[in-house]
Each structure stands twice: as structure tokens, then as C-alpha cells.
């Protein structure tokens, strides 16, 4: 249940996202961010706030470990909407965390996948992918490379 302990602290974040999250031919846009993460409930909860200064918004993620299901639920909210997006659920295995959920984007139902990988003392990678075909194919549309401050 201490899978997200690595994230505690302050991180510089290099972001890349597709201008259109559902278009595999969409251009990539790059922008910076700063993330501040904290550990709670003895490692069973994690909270971070990320600020995107050139984009004019911020986001919050709450991660909660379900001790019965032995999996994490990740909840994201953006200052652009002020709403809580549907959670993604999953776990870590061999240093890689994979989380899945259901959502909508631009009026379309999508499956969502978050992947945490490349985790070291000073770096980590997060990526988001959407599927519009029930998980047959995935389109990576947002990547964050984190470097510890």
C-alpha cells in the first residue's frame, strides 16, 4: 500500500500532450508544470497538486488504497472544470503501475489507462491513453516526465 510513497515531494514536470486527445495524427504540445505530493494514512493515501503555469490551470489527484481489493483508486480534478473525473483503478507490479477506468471525452465514451513507470529516486513517468474501441487499441495522449527538485 506504499506504492506512491516515491511521489512525495516536489517535482518539475515536462508535459507533452496531443492537441486533440482522440486523433493519432494530432500535433504534440509541450509545457512545464510543478507538482507537490504528500503521503497520508500511513501510505494508503497520496495527494498531489500540479500547477501548469503556461496553461493557466491546476490539477489535483487523490489516490486511495483499498486494502480489501488490494488496488488503488485514482481521482483527478482540474481547476478548469471544478469537477471530479471518474476514477481509474489498478495496482503496481514489477515497478509499473497500471490503472483503468471509463470516462467521456469530447462527447465520446472512452476507456482510460494511466501508466506509472521508470520510477527511481529522482525520476518517474506517467502517461495517459484513451481507447474508443473497448481496449482493442490505445492512443497515448498525455505524457509527464517528472524530475525531483
Question: pLDDT at position 31, please?
Answer: 98
pTM: 0.94
| For the chain, percent of residues with pLDDT exceeding 90 | 99
Residue 67 φ then ψ, to 5°: -70, -25
Q: Report how far apart, in Å, the C-alpha atoms of 114 and of each of 14, 54, 60 are.
A: 17, 23, 15
Residue 50 buriedness (CB in 10 A; 0-12 / 13-18 / 19+): buried
Q: What is the per-residue pLDDT across 4-58, written as a single tens digit (0 to 9) for each? A: 999 999 999 999 999 999 999 999 999 999 999 999 999 999 999 999 999 999 9
69-93 residues labelled b (16+ CB within 10 A) or e (exposed): eeebbbbbbeeeeeeebebbebebe
User: Alpha-carbon distance 17 to 37, whole Å?
Assistant: 22
CATH number at residue 93: 2.40.128.20
Provide the number of structural domains found in the chain. Answer: 1
Please give the residue range of the domain that contains residue 38. Answer: 5-18+26-148
Distance, C-alpha 132 to centroid of its chain: 19
Contact 94, 101 (CB under 8 A): no
1: pLDDT strictly greater than 90: no
Q: Report how far apart, in Å, the C-alpha atoms of 60 and of each of 30, 37, 130 are.
A: 20, 10, 20
User: Alpha-carbon distance 133 to 129, whole Å?
Assistant: 12
Amino acid at each position: 500500500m506504499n506504492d506512491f510513497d516515491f511521489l512525495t515531494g516536489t517535482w518539475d514536470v515536462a508535459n507533452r500532450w496531443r492537441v486533440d486527445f482522440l486523433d493519432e495524427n494530432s500535433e504534440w504540445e509541450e509545457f512545464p508544470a510543478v507538482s507537490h505530493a504528500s503521503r497520508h494514512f500511513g501510505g494508503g493515501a497520496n495527494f498531489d497538486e500540479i500547477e501548469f503555469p503556461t496553461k493557466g490551470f491546476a490539477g489535483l489527484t487523490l489516490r486511495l488504497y483499498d486494502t480489501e481489493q488490494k488496488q488503488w483508486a485514482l481521482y483527478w480534478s482540474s481547476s478548469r472544470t471544478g469537477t471530479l473525473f471518474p476514477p481509474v483503478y489498478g495496482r503496481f507490479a514489477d515497478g509499473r503501475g497500471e490503472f483503468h477506468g471509463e470516462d467521456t471525452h469530447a462527447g465520446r465514451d472512452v476507456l482510460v489507462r494511466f501508466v506509472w513507470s521508470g520510477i527511481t529516486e529522482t525520476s518517474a513517468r506517467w502517461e495517459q491513453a484513451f481507447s474508443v474501441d473497448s481496449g482493442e487499441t490505445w492512443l497515448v495522449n498525455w505524457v509527464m516526465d517528472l524530475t525531483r527538485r
